[in-house]
Chain A
Amino acid sequence: MTLDLSFLARGGHLPALLDGLLTTCKLFVVSWICGFLIALVLANLRDVRFAPVRFVAGIYLEYHRNVPTVVQMLVWYFAMPDLLPDSIRLWINRGNTEFLFAWIALSLNVSAYFAEDIRSGMRAIPHTQYEAARAIGLGALGALVYVILPQAVRITIPTILNRTLILFKDTSLAMAIGVSELTYQVRNIENATFRAFEVYFIATITYLVISLVIMFLGAWFSRRFAVTHRA
């Protein structure tokens, strides 16, 4: 089988493919940012003294970790609009509904994983580190910024990058609710041209290249900032 890609130039398939790639990247980046911000809050909520808050945070985490991402998207896309008042629903429907709900679903989903990663990173630092930092005269914020975070981030980033890779691959699931990302466009072009091999090949390589960059970053970081224990 030879790879003849000239069919892409006809019928606007190449712009569609690029547009799909752009949507995939957009969805990936905005979901990552929102997911990370939510996770920062969530990670701290789990240690709040007020029990009901911990309980709700726990349910949030378990729901997002134990229900498939696709189902979470379907819930947002098909079920949630029913709960909204008509005025808000009409306002949402005017925009890019599919993208919006995929964005929300992916952000919340990844936030649950990020939160656990951040929390276990923070807990890995012994409390004595904080006490020692305060004892040498650093304020609460100073102790966090100069002593706790530099150590915690080191432990956390490899797991965060691992989850980032999964988030990137999960953007493909957004096709289930009709977001015109890369996989969606690939299926469209395949339906129109019957060039399954060529289109799948391009999409696979594209996914692979971006994933390998993320994996490489993870491997590089683990090696460069390896956690070494002093005896």
Chain B
Amino acid sequence: MLGFLEKYGLFYLTGGWPASEIGGFAGTLILAGVGLAVCFPLAILIGLARTSQRHAFFISATIWVYALRGIPLLMVLLWSYFLLPELTGHSFTPFTTAMAAIIVYESAFMAEIVRAGIQGLPKGQMEAARSIGLGYWQAMREVILPQALVNMIPSFVNQFVSTVKATSIVYIIGVSELTFVAQQINNVEVGNPIRTYVVLAFFYFIPCWGLSLLSRKIEHSIKARQSSAAAVR
């Protein structure tokens, strides 16, 4: 086992880097991390539209969210693989293709977190902000979002965990992330697939489990702070 880790540990961690594009575990984290970071402003806009009084915004955001929630990521990945070169006339690396699919797909789920966060605040917050003369955007920026975003932190952490897990399918189009690397190792080390896949499972398990615990902890501390603030009042 130690010999195996010594031989392939770095390959699991970074793929063929620096000889080729960075991959492996680092590739998985970059896909999920950068994907969600790019997604974030998009999700706030879609989330705002989902709580909007304007029908055009509300309806188009709702269609966007429900359509994406209703199809598998794999299908979005295939679309991205086919449509990106078709629409732009350029060819893209598998990594960029997968990144595009993840951004589009996760925007729907992140938007629902934003919507829930905004609607989770008492209505009086918005009414009070508007009544002291703030406009809609001002009220959102100064009053609603600062409170709502803090409450959303645990959900964002959970979404990061599920995105890390979801990226494991993109090896299908040849992105050299963690699962792809394990498949390659399995092609070489044919005699012992158990070892290869147990190590792979551990690579996902440790960060995902740790982050789930962290998100539960943050949730508790946010709740504790809110109830103590309520008690002072």
- A-to-B contact residues, CB < 8 Å: 62-63, 65-72, 74-75, 78-79, 82-83, 165, 169-170, 172-173, 175-176, 183, 186-187, 196-197, 200, 203-204, 207-208, 211-212, 215
A66 near B194 with CB under 8 A, answer no
Q: Say yes or no for B159: interface residue by CB 8 A criterion.
A: no
Which chain B positions have C-beta within 8 A of A82? 192-194
Q: Say yes or no for B96: interface residue by CB 8 A criterion.
A: no
A66 near B72 with CB under 8 A, answer no
Which chain A positions have C-beta within 8 A of B200? 71, 74
Which chain B positions have C-beta within 8 A of A66? 161, 165, 204-205, 208-209, 212
B165 near A68 with CB under 8 A, answer yes
Q: Say yes or no for B216: interface residue by CB 8 A criterion.
A: no
A-B contact count (CB 8 A): 105
Which chain B positions have C-beta within 8 A of A71? 168, 179, 197, 200-201, 204
A68 near B71 with CB under 8 A, answer no
- When A78-B186, A172-B72 are in contact, do A68 and B166 touch as well, CB less than 8 Å? yes
Indicate which residue in B72, B168, B201 contacts A183 across the interface (CB closer than 8 Å): B72
Indicate which residue in A75, A169, A215 contacts B72 across the interface (CB closer than 8 Å): A169
Please name the residue on chain B nearest to A199 by beta carbon: B78
Which chain B positions have C-beta within 8 A of A62? 205, 209
Indicate which residue in B67, B179, B194 contacts A70 across the interface (CB closer than 8 Å): B179
- When A79-B193, A79-B198 are in contact, do A200 and B72 touch as well, CB less than 8 Å? no
A69 to B192, CA, bound (A): 21
- When A63-B205, A68-B165 are in contact, do A212 and B66 touch as well, CB less than 8 Å? yes
Q: Nearest Cβ distance between residue A201 and chain B, in whole angstroms? A: 9
The listed residue with most A CB atoms (<10 A of its CB), out of B79, B166, B197, is B197
Q: Nearest Cβ distance between residue B195 and chain A, in whole angstroms? A: 8
- When A71-B179, A78-B186, A215-B69 are in contact, do A175 and B205 touch as well, CB less than 8 Å? no
A176 to B77, CA, bound (A): 14
User: Could you list 23 examples of A-B contacts with CB < 8 Å?
Assistant: A65-B212, A66-B209, A66-B212, A67-B165, A68-B164, A68-B204, A71-B200, A74-B179, A78-B193, A78-B197, A79-B197, A82-B192, A83-B194, A170-B72, A172-B75, A175-B172, A176-B172, A183-B72, A183-B78, A187-B78, A207-B75, A211-B69, A215-B69
Q: Restricting to B17-70, which residues have a CB under 8 Å from any CB of A?
A: 66-67, 69-70
A215 to B68, CA, bound (A): 12
B204 near A67 with CB under 8 A, answer yes
Which chain A positions have C-beta within 8 A of B172? 175-176
A69 to B167, CA, bound (A): 11
Q: Say yes or no for B82: interface residue by CB 8 A criterion.
A: yes
A173 to B72, CA, bound (A): 9
Please name the residue on chain B nearest to A172 by beta carbon: B72
Which chain A positions have C-beta within 8 A of B196? 78-79
Q: Say yes or no for B222: interface residue by CB 8 A criterion.
A: no
Q: Say yes or no for B169: interface residue by CB 8 A criterion.
A: yes
Q: Nearest Cβ distance between residue A79 and chain B, in whole angstroms? A: 4
A70 near B205 with CB under 8 A, answer no
Which chain A positions have C-beta within 8 A of B208? 66-67
Please name the residue on chain B nearest to A72 by beta carbon: B201
Q: Say yes or no for B134: interface residue by CB 8 A criterion.
A: no
Which chain B positions have C-beta within 8 A of A200? 75, 78-79, 82
A68 to B166, CA, bound (A): 7
A78 to B200, CA, bound (A): 12
Which chain A positions have C-beta within 8 A of B82? 196-197, 200
Q: Say yes or no for B74: interface residue by CB 8 A criterion.
A: yes
A204 to B212, CA, bound (A): 31
A67 near B205 with CB under 8 A, answer yes
